[in-house]
Amino acid sequence: MAAVVVAGLAGCSSTGGKQAEERREQALEGGGTAVNTPRWKVAMVTHSGDGDTFWDIVQNGAEMAARKDNIEFLYAHDKDAGRQAQLVKSMVDKQVDGLIVTLAKPEAMKDVVRRATKAGIPVITINSGQDRYEEFGALTHIGQDEVVAGEAVGEELNARGRERALCVVHEQGNVGLDQRCTGVENTFDGEIDRLYVEGTNMPSVESSISAKLQSDEKIDSVVALGAPFAATAAKSVDQTGSKAEVATFDLNAQVVDGLKDGTIRFAVDQQPYLQGYEAVDLMWLRLYNDDVLGGGRPVLTGPQIVTPEDAPELEKYTKRGTR
């Protein structure tokens, strides 16, 4: 079918291509009709949520798939691992038909996820938990390999001739963030330090980065591990007069603006919209047709290195909240 669609588009006039794009935009806005299948209830419980641009995009993707698949979608989140586990337990008690969870702090989630699978509720993990999802009984994992993503950053820093990098970790104990720094260390030929900051307090993050840049003038790269922290890192660089370049994991509208004006040199996109969308869609496929994707391996949504040259094309997608 994909080949037929591509061939058809290739033969379209410019008007036909415009009409196809308009139809695509309408579908993305929820103008399509849902499938004619039972209205299953699917819950997503994450370790972060409202107010975080990354998780807003994940939720946008999940809600779009839910509308398409006639799914009743429930969403909850809590940064505290214990409270996140309690939220998962409440979804199990509600007897949802499917459960999507993150495993940023796996040990806190282990028992409650196993409780869900023992109750016959299919579980898919997203974003964090690639190393543990099978152990917990989840069907598959959707996200990027954080070590591989970090290695891509290390290689990009090498290509740019960087020699000393600062990896800013905004949440202690989050295994995915530590894996990102480990990946950078694996491939970066220069020296790298980890700076642990209080991610819930952005002024504190800024002052911590600034202090590090002032105390070590040899730092020529600052690697933020999340999009909301990239602009703060760029501000620290500007205020201290540092020559360091800023790179970041993840993408949002502010990061695209930074790529355009040069305050951010590159970003690593793990496509959060895909993580939310595919998780719900794969859960629907499981409930409808007993399908499982991945073949025993995670379903990867990244990494993709994004540079200033990519910013103009991505801008319209970040503005509507899908990249």
Nearest 10 degrees: Cα torsion 46, 52, 53, 57:
20
> Residue 162, Cα to own-chain centre: how many angstroms?
26
Tens-place pLDDT, residues 32-76: 678 999 999 999 999 987 678 899 999 999 999 999 999 999 999
- Residue span(s) of the chain under CATH 3.40.50.2300 come to 37-144+271-302, 146-269
pLDDT at 14 over 50: no
Cα–Cα distance, 155 to 132 (Å, whole number) = 27
Q: Evaluate whether 285 touches 261 at the Cβ level (below 8 Å).
A: no
Whether residue 65 contacts residue 280, with contact meaning beta carbons closer than 8 Å, is answered with yes
- The arithmetic mean of pLDDT across residues 1-22, rounded, is 43
Assign 3-state DSSP to the chain and report helix, strand, coil percentages, each to 5: 50, 15, 30
DSSP state of 49: -
pLDDT greater at residue 33 or residue 4: 33
274 band by pLDDT with thresholds 50, 70 and 90: very high
| Other Cβ atoms closer than 10 A to 94 | 10
Compute the distance between CA of residue 15 and CA of residue 44 in angstroms, rounded to an integer: 40
Comparing CA positions, the residue from 155, 54, 53, 59 lying closest to residue 100 is: 59
CATH superfamily of 37-144+271-302: Response regulator (3.40.50.2300)
What is the reported pLDDT for 191?
97
Per-residue pLDDT reduced to its tens digit, 198-254: 999 999 999 999 999 999 999 999 999 999 999 999 999 999 999 999 999 999 999
Topology (CATH) of 146-269: Rossmann fold (3.40.50)
| CA within 13 Å, CB half, 58 | 31
Q: What is the mean pLDDT of residues 253-280?
A: 97
Q: Which helix (H) or strand (E) holds 298?
A: none
C-alpha 249/C-alpha 255 separation (Å) is: 10
**Secondary structure class of 157 (helix, strand, coil):** helix
Q: What is the dihedral of CA 2, 39, 91, 136, to 10 degrees?
A: -40
Helix (H), strand (E), coil (C) string for 74-116 = EEEECCCHHHHHHHHHHHHHCCCCEEEECCCCHHHHHHHHHHH
Q: What pLDDT is attached to residue 32? A: 62
Distances (CA, A) of 46 to 73, 97, 222, 257: 14, 17, 27, 27
The tokens describing 197, both together, are 């900051």
- Mean pLDDT, to the nearest integer, of 117-145? 96
